[in-house]
Amino acid sequence: MMRRFRHSRGFATLVALALLGMVAAVTALLITNLRFAVMRTSLMPQDAQLRQLLLAGARDVAARARQWGAQPPRDSWSIQLPSDLADQHAGVTIHPSEAGADAVIVQVEARFDSRRAGESVRLNRGGARWKITGASLD
């Protein structure tokens, strides 16, 4: 009868070790997922600010395009930002590229802290006016 009890104790030890291994694996997965969620959450304010800067760049392009003649400018320009953004190393630079007779693609580059984002804004000329006809994130 003792023998039977020992087999049972050995089996229980093996089951306990297997369960302990599974709990350790699940705990490691949960910690990894939590770390990625914290990282993603900490970057959300910077991503939102970059999107706002890209919108400001597109709006500036639209405002300047009203004053363009037959040809858009070839020189790049920057947008003047409030000092609190400039203190956080923020900036928006606009680079005209690929100009055709009635179409131009303008690259808008936004910087905030150590992160960057960009978009391409397409403008077409209809009569004497330039209008934004599309935009895509780079």
CA nearest neighbour of 107 among 97, 117, 115: 97
Look up the domain containing 33 and give its range: 2-137
The percentage of residues in the chain with a pLDDT greater than 70, rounded to a whole number, is: 94
User: Rounded to an integer, what distance in angstroms lies between the CA atom of residue 79 and that of residue 128?
Assistant: 25
pLDDT band of 7, cuts 50, 70, 90: low
Q: Give the list of residues 6+ apart from residue 128 with CB closer than 8 angstroms, or none.
A: none
Q: Which two tokens stand for residue 29?
A: 């997965």
Q: How many structural domains compose the chain? A: 1
Tens-place pLDDT, residues 83-114: 999 899 999 999 998 777 789 999 999 999 88
pTM above 0.75, yes or no: no
Tens-place pLDDT, residues 63-84: 999 998 878 888 999 999 999 9
User: Rounded to an integer, what distance in angstroms lies between the CA atom of residue 29 and that of residue 11?
Assistant: 27
pLDDT at 41: 83
Tens-place pLDDT, residues 12-57: 888 899 999 999 999 999 999 999 888 888 878 899 999 999 999 9
The DSSP symbol for 51 reads H
